[in-house]
Amino acid sequence: ASEGAYEHLKVTTPRPGVGLITFNRPKALNALFTPLFHELNAALRAFDSSPEIGAMVLTGSERAFAAGADIKEMKDKTFADAYGADFIEMWSDLMHIKKPVISAVNGYALGGGCELAMMADIMYCSVGATFGQPEIKLGVIPGAGGSQRLTRAIGKSKAMEMILTGNNLSGKEAGERGLVAKVFDSAQECVDGALDTAEKIASYSKIAVKAAKEVVNKSQDLGVREGIEFERRVFHGLFGSKDQKIGMTAFAEKKKPQWTHE
Ligand code: CAA
């Protein structure tokens, strides 16, 4: 993920262990189209496989995280085009990334933009953020997980209201309703806050971080009992890691742990 290698993204490593991916399609408010997704997936995978990187931040501009799927790109698609080529399927590559991803949302996060932000592990936004699923106004419905993730995040009644009316949710409301973990006063503070959190995560054992993300994500798919059993197995497994010995010994000896990520 070297800098300058992308047309629709800016990809940098602004902090130790942190990869920053910034959508850079300002003329279309970062509308999400296929070439951008090829680049996004490549950038995410490059950071995911880089031993230097421990966490990532995904952001857009102050005006728009992403104003949704590119309506002009998809307007002439037929059912056969959409179904036959699994339209939107490749948008979910983010879900297969093993390292934590934080979305820092400023400005518009509409339709696919909101859905992509919700695929991240942690969401931050600024007061100026606008979340929405306006697909109903275009004669369609959310297609990248919005109906499922938004409903789990803010509850059925509010999600149903948003998806059926196309009404937006402000950054402040997103914080109050628990869609995002934190709301910042400005776009810059939001990105900086996400980078701070990513840097902190990147300072821990990569083995433990990977396991932590995996078990929390399981809570979204499993019942509580199976989820707790899964957690216990993974917890037990970590006693086979070097970093468990390093972390606990360092505590007992009042030292700073030097992780081996093994
Ligand atoms: N697709 C393609 N182009 C888009 C776009 C989108 N989703 N959103 C914005 N743009 C383009 C506009 O067409 C415009 O281009 P031109 O200058 O060439 O006309 C440019 O970005 C700037 O946008 P506006 O002039 O409209 O800016 P604004 O400040 O007046 O309005 C906005 C901003 C309210 C976000 C408005 O652009 C808008 O409503 N955009 C569409 C939002 C939307 O419906 N998103 C959902 C898409 S469907 C989807 O995502 C499906 C799914 O579930 C995967």
Residue 19, beta-bridge partner list: 56
How would residue 254 be classed by pLDDT, with cut points 50, 70 and 90?
A: very high
Question: Is 115 labeled as catalytic in the residue annotation?
Answer: yes
Find the angle CA(234)-CA(220)-CA(137) to the nearest 5 degrees.
Answer: 155
pTM: 0.96
Digit-coded pLDDT (tens) for 32-75: 999 999 999 999 999 999 999 999 999 999 999 999 999 999 99
pLDDT at position 5: 82
Question: Is 112 labeled as catalytic in the residue annotation?
Answer: yes
The domain defined by 206-252 carries CATH number 3.40.1080.10:
no
Digit-coded pLDDT (tens) for 162-220: 999 999 999 999 999 999 999 999 999 999 999 999 999 999 999 999 999 999 999 99
Candidate from 23, 24, 25, 29 with most ligand 1 atoms within 8 A of CB, to mutate: 29
Q: Is the CB of 31 under 6 A from ligand 1?
A: yes
Residue from 39, 135, 189, 231 carrying the catalytic annotation: 135
Domain edges within the chain: 9-202, 206-252
Cα separation, 131 vs 33, in Å, equals: 19
**CA quadruple 204, 95, 107, 151: dihedral sign:** negative
CA distances from 149 to 14, 141, 146, 173, 230 (A): 30, 14, 5, 17, 22
What is the CA(156)–ligand 1 centre distance, in A? 26
Residue nearest (by alpha carbon) to ligand 1 atom 36: 67
Digit-coded pLDDT (tens) for 121-135: 999 999 999 999 999
Cα separation, 56 vs 143, in Å, equals: 24
The sheet with strand 122-126 has its strands ordered as: 9-15, 18-23, 55-59, 101-105, 122-126, 182-184
Token couple for 250? 């360092």
What would the mean pLDDT of 236-254 be, rounded to a whole number?
98
CATH topology of domain 9-202: 2-enoyl-CoA Hydratase; Chain A, domain 1 (3.90.226)
Q: Is the CB of 135 under 6 A from ligand 1?
A: yes
**Mean per-residue pLDDT of the chain:** 96
What SS3 state is found at 134?
A: helix
